[in-house]
Structure 1
Amino acid sequence: MELKQLFESHGQGQVFRFWDELDETQQANLSSQASEIDLDELENLVATLVKGGGGHDEEDFSTLKPAPYISIPENLDTDPEWKEAKELGEAALKAGKVAAFTVAGGQGTRLGYDGPKGTFPVTPIKSKSLFQVFAEKIQAARVRYSCALPWFVMTSDINHTATVAFFEENAYFGLAEGSVTFFRQGRMPAVDLDGKIILEDKGSIAMSPDGHGGALRALDRSGSFQAMVDAGIEVLSYFQVDNPLVQPVDPYFIGFHLKSGSTLSSKMLPKAYEKEKLGHFCVQDGINKVVEYSDMPDELCALRDPDGQLSFRAGSIAIHVISVDFARSLVAPGSSVSLPFHRADKKIPFVDENGNVQKADTPNGVKFEMFVFDAIPFAKTSIVIETTRLADFSPVKNAEGIDSPESCKADQIKLFKQWFEAAGIELPEGYDLPIEVSPLFATDKQSFLESWSAKPVELDFSKPIYLG
């Protein structure tokens, strides 16, 4: 068998040691998994990150400085710089140069939910799923800017079929079927501490997603990059699936990206407290980068400016605008630059020499993953702009407490109440029933004012208020 011989030549023949005990289906599965693996790439990762101890060296933070960012003004409507950016962004949208890109490979396990995270219900009254919220926001942008605005959704091997079926069952939430593209995230094999590929059972390799940084490789391998080029798409609006307040396309953000000549732009939030679990936008030796919250020294997390603000306050919230040409350059064959892999030590179930599945009590293996923010140092120009939590960030990550469905619903209601106030809609004192505004009615304060002015509604304050 040619594939088996190839693995043996790379010192990974143990992958097929139970081959003769497998039935045809199991053999087909193992062969399929093995065919995904780039053995030359894996050999290099084992040499550098496993046997070389990569990822465990002390990083030098002595020259690290806070990254500059474009501050959000008190009034977006009157600030000339932000007005200019908005006009540029709107022009790009109207010209069909923008696509939305959602990273949606996760399951709802941490939420106690059995299914793709994008199918999880999040809105206060209608319990719309994350995918429906994004679909309605994208539909609203298509109408507002008279554009096609294609939507690319990266799934994973574990949730691809269920995700596509969910869209089909819901008629793509009113979007044209061909305007939504699904593709799978890449996977990497886990290896033991000697660099040998781990079998999770006799006929299956321990495979795991290659991290959100693998999104760029997946876009290329799936043919999505070429589809974008053919459609005249120049800019990708990147966001993660767990954040219903995100603006899938923000004309201000896109405009700043274009006017600055940036190839990878990012949104930031001022960190709420020192140890908030957000990466830090930094500059080191003149190069922009993100330092993960878990890697940042305590003394730098606590460092403050004379006015009392955190010095390293620019928190990364995984919202980016990426130029398509730049993204393609990172995955082009023979490219001189590429995103690095990181090592993650994990407890990985494995098959012993007798074919029995064992659970590890301590980390026994290494998984490899890439982070999309590692592309920032390669960008010729990279900018960071400020946003607000209610405008862009209330993720659903935990079953309860911070970043939970409950906290997210509260943030949505708070945002909708701000829109009501801006429109002069007075809620009765002590009104505490839920409020929900469909993205098809409004996606921000300005569109809410326009929709309300064009079609005011008689509100019944004795029950929850839904505007759709």
Structure 2
Amino acid sequence: MDNKQRFESQGQGQVFRFWDGLSEEEKANLDSQASEIDIEELDRLVATLVKSEEKEEGIDFSALEPAPYVSIPADLDEDEEWQEAKRIGEEALRAGKVAAFTVAGGQGTRLGYNGPKGTYPVTPVKNKTLFQVFAEKIQAARVAYSCKLPWFVMTSDINHEATVSFFEKNKYFGLAEGSVTFFRQGRMPAVDSEGKIILEAKGSIAMSPDGHGGALRALDRSGSFQAMVDDGIEVLSYFQVDNPLVQPVDPYFIGFHIKSGSTLSSKMLPKAYEKEKLGHFCVLDGVSQVVEYSDMPDELCALRDADGQLSFRAGSIAIHIISVDFARSLVAPGSTVALPFHRADKKIPFVDADGNTQKPDTPNGIKFEMFIFDSIPFAEKPLVIETTRLADFSPVKNAEGVDSPESCKGDQMTLFRQWFDAAGIELPADFDQSIEVSPLFATDEAGFVAAWKENPTALDLSAPIYIG
């Protein structure tokens, strides 16, 4: 049975209604898209998320509690628990048990940039791209721990070729070509209120990425999970592409994950203000989960402890350590647990019965997506570890204002100034030039102090400072 017959037999024959008038190229594209779609899975989603009159069971906010987390100690170097975690994490890195995993399917559209977001320049002096920053941090870790540290990069259908080409053009930023693996994120078709698949053109289905939770399915379908198992990889260090301050591998974080027996660990950031757009780490009836900021009632967002701190202050910043065996179990055939899909009502351009493209003013269709944090309730001993903004979080999401290129560059320079101060490098109070430190020189304050002590350099204070 070909795709056309398969779709017709499942009540989705409208997908091929313009088939006879399509060019060979259009037919090939439509047939390829149709091959991606699991009709049986789509039928289940339509039944439960589109046609069902039963409302999705909501959160009992009266029983919701803030999730516990491991706080950063006042003196990291003297804290035995954190130092033990660091030792365990470093051992795992040296043993080759860790891989870095970047979710990089997005485009730079919101930044006014035409290209994969990972190719967007973000550093204050050299304008290095996000991908280059991550590559240099990974290379620095490989050298520091004498390990292979493979890097898995999930692209999307829209930016895969451009991403791979970018790495090839830049000779993988010094990384061995075979040590970086690219694979595409999965896609799902959009449907209308009757559950019918929407065509965005006569020969094209309205397809969209299946959400960052789809990363686990993509790792499995691409063969990456099997490659990890064959290579002795036991844990994944997961992060998103828009955040240049992230630590692609953090030995403290990895160590806490391993020594606690957790199968999924997360980093949290204390929320800066009540309505900051970060999900909340919470516990409901003994089960850990993330409640999105858009779902959290205002009164809980504003709730404070006796010391004046926000009660629900543990904000999710999409940085995780995931055990490979656990991740595989969520996508294994016949698994009794799986990440749920969520519906999102969207305005979706479509072709009408006459083949004319229409752009609706109101939501007319439904997209399906999964979220990586939905795996937390299934995890054994899920763990949350505190971090700081300068240590891990300054995303580039908006063209201006909060989480913009300007704010991110400012955060990077604040961090580098702290390193300068720790190394005894005095800059004039009126110094207004940009500062940048290459990850190949140092990736943290202690590393910078040691490297500077070994190789101090005369600085030209009349120009931007780059230390690499």
TM-score range normalised by the length of the shorter chain:
over 0.9
Give the counterpart letter for 1:386 in structure 2: E
1:28-427 equivalent positions in 2, closer than 5 A: 28-52=28-52, 58-427=58-427
* Secondary structure at the counterpart of residue 194 of structure 2: coil
Percent identity between matched residues is 80
Q: CA shift at 1:71, angstroms?
A: 0.2
Question: Quick one: structure 1 residues 32 and 230, their matched pair in 2 at CA, closer, same or farther if it must change by over 3 Å?
Answer: same
Q: Deviations over 1:4-39 (max 9, x none)?
A: 111111110100000001011000000000000000
Q: CA shift at 1:381, angstroms?
A: 1.2
Once residues 58 and 454 of structure 1 are traced to their aligned partners in structure 2, the CA distance between those partners, rounded to angstroms, is 58
Give the counterpart letter for 1:418 in structure 2: Q
Q: Is the 8 A contact 1:317 1:393 kept in 2?
A: yes
* Secondary structure at the counterpart of residue 266 of structure 2: strand
Q: Deviations over 1:389-418 (max 9, x none)?
A: 000000000000000000000000000000
Alignment TM-score, normalising by the size of structure 1: 0.99
Q: CA shift at 1:60, angstroms?
A: 2.2
Give the counterpart letter for 2:113 in structure 1: Y
The CA RMSD measured in Å over matched residues stands at: 0.9
Question: Quick one: structure 1 residues 57 and 360, their matched pair in 2 at CA, closer, same or farther if it must change by over 3 Å?
Answer: farther
* Secondary structure at the counterpart of residue 77 of structure 2: coil
Question: Quick one: structure 1 residues 54 and 442, their matched pair in 2 at CA, closer, same or farther if it must change by over 3 Å?
Answer: farther
* Secondary structure at the counterpart of residue 288 of structure 1: strand
Once residues 119 and 276 of structure 2 are traced to their aligned partners in structure 1, the CA distance between those partners, rounded to angstroms, is 27
Q: CA shift at 1:82, angstroms?
A: 0.3
* Secondary structure at the counterpart of residue 192 of structure 1: coil
In the alignment, what sits opposite 2:9? Answer: 9
Q: CA shift at 1:431, angstroms?
A: 0.9
Once residues 110 and 75 of structure 2 are traced to their aligned partners in structure 1, the CA distance between those partners, rounded to angstroms, is 38
Once residues 41 and 88 of structure 2 are traced to their aligned partners in structure 1, the CA distance between those partners, rounded to angstroms, is 41
Question: Quick one: structure 1 residues 277 and 96, their matched pair in 2 at CA, closer, same or farther if it must change by over 3 Å?
Answer: same
Q: Which moved more, 1:213-222 or 1:453-462?
A: 453-462
Once residues 5 and 172 of structure 2 are traced to their aligned partners in structure 1, the CA distance between those partners, rounded to angstroms, is 45
* Secondary structure at the counterpart of residue 62 of structure 1: helix
Once residues 230 and 451 of structure 1 are traced to their aligned partners in structure 2, the CA distance between those partners, rounded to angstroms, is 36
Alignment TM-score, normalising by the size of structure 2: 0.99
* Secondary structure at the counterpart of residue 45 of structure 1: helix
Once residues 260 and 56 of structure 1 are traced to their aligned partners in structure 2, the CA distance between those partners, rounded to angstroms, is 33
Give the counterpart letter for 1:398 in structure 2: N
Q: Deviations over 1:158-207 (max 9, x none)?
A: 00000000000000000000000000000000000110000001000000
Once residues 332 and 365 of structure 1 are traced to their aligned partners in structure 2, the CA distance between those partners, rounded to angstroms, is 30
Q: Deviations over 1:233-282 (max 9, x none)?
A: 00000000000000000000000000100000000000000000000000
Give the counterpart letter for 1:111 in structure 2: L
Give the counterpart letter for 1:276 in structure 2: E
Q: Deviations over 1:195-234 (max 9, x none)?
A: 0000001000000000000000000000000000000000
Q: CA shift at 1:56, angstroms?
A: 5.9
Q: Is the 8 A contact 1:54 1:343 kept in 2?
A: no
Q: CA shift at 1:380, angstroms?
A: 1.3
* Secondary structure at the counterpart of residue 78 of structure 2: coil
Once residues 456 and 201 of structure 1 are traced to their aligned partners in structure 2, the CA distance between those partners, rounded to angstroms, is 61
Once residues 228 and 54 of structure 2 are traced to their aligned partners in structure 1, the CA distance between those partners, rounded to angstroms, is 36
Give the counterpart letter for 1:190 in structure 2: A
Give the counterpart letter for 2:87 in structure 1: E
Give the counterpart letter for 1:244 in structure 2: P
For structure 1, the 5+ residue unaligned runs are none
Give the counterpart letter for 2:264 in structure 1: L
Give the counterpart letter for 1:34 in structure 2: A
In the alignment, what sits opposite 1:467? Answer: 467
Once residues 16 and 356 of structure 1 are traced to their aligned partners in structure 2, the CA distance between those partners, rounded to angstroms, is 15
Give the counterpart letter for 1:436 in structure 2: E
Once residues 53 and 276 of structure 2 are traced to their aligned partners in structure 1, the CA distance between those partners, rounded to angstroms, is 29
Once residues 257 and 60 of structure 1 are traced to their aligned partners in structure 2, the CA distance between those partners, rounded to angstroms, is 29
